[in-house]
């Protein structure tokens, strides 16, 4: 029995388990633990591919398992979080409103299915990856909980704004916008200039803004990619 060929898929299944646990914490409104397990799932998601390449056992089964695990960790869980935000929010008096949060889940599902058949996304991404989008959405209740700003609390409680975030989330997941990869191919600054600048900005944001830094880091990533694309065209 070749144990090596089962290592990547086992890691992928652990990612799925993290997503299931995060979903339970989301139901219990324990947003910090939900965020922690999604982060762990995303961490495992990186290493399943790493070990598949290392052991040279990459195959179609692993690709499908990876997307199915990501669907829970980075698709269902953020939908649940947005559902809760809209359920406890204000603005529109309708029982249907909270379910609009699952627009994120639908957009994530389409993104993951399309990613499996898109041969252009081997070294970089087109559209926001589902893990990055999940981190953005899961950071919103943490920002709301830990912020002392009344204005910020009102923004993250408004049904109209939350719906706009959900719709834009589904859009940016599937938009034809190239985003630079965070993978470090070698250790020269010239080859990894944009990645290193981004990581430095992200670290400064985390140290100074704490929870508020989380959504801002994702927004910065998208904006830097757009600016980088403009320079590459010149």
Q: List pLDDT tens digits, range 11-47.
A: 999 999 999 999 999 999 999 999 999 999 999 988 8
pLDDT of residue 125: 82
Mean confidence (pLDDT) of the chain: 88
* Better pLDDT: 151 or 4: 151
Looking at the chain, the number of H-run helices and the number of E-run strands are 10, 2
Q: List pLDDT tens digits, range 170-218.
A: 999 999 888 987 765 555 666 678 888 999 999 999 999 888 899 999 9
Q: Which of 36-50, 117-131, 155-169, 205-219 has the lowest mean pLDDT?
A: 117-131
Rg for the chain (alpha carbons), in Å? 18
């Amino acid at each position: 029995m070749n144990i090596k060929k089962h290592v990547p898929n086992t890691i992928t299944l652990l990612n799925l388990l993290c997503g299931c646990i995060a979903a339970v914490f989301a139901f219990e409104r324990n947003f910090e633990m939900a965020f922690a397990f999604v982060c762990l799932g995303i961490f495992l998601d990186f290493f399943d591919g790493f070990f598949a390449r290392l052991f040279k056992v990459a195959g179609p089964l692993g690709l499908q398992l990876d997307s199915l695990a990501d669907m829970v960790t980075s698709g269902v869980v953020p939908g649940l979080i947005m559902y809760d935000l809209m359920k406890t929010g204000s603005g529109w008096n309708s029982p249907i409103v909270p379910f609009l949060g699952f627009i994120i889940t639908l957009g994530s599902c389409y993104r993951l299915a399309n990613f499996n058949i898109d041969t252009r996304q081997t070294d970089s991404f087109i559209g926001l990856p589902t893990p990055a989008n999940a981190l953005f959405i899961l950071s919103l209740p943490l920002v709301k909980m830990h912020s002392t700003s009344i204005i910020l609390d009102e923004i993250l409680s408004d049904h109209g704004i939350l719906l706009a975030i959900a719709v834009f989330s589904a859009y940016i997941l599937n938009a034809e916008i190239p985003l630079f990869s965070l993978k470090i191919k070698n250790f020269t600054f010239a080859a990894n200039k944009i990645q290193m600048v981004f990581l430095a900005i992200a670290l400064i944001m985390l140290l100074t803004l704490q929870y508020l830094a989380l959504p801002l880091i994702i927004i910065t990533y998208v904006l830097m990619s757009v600016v980088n694309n403009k320079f590459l065209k010149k």
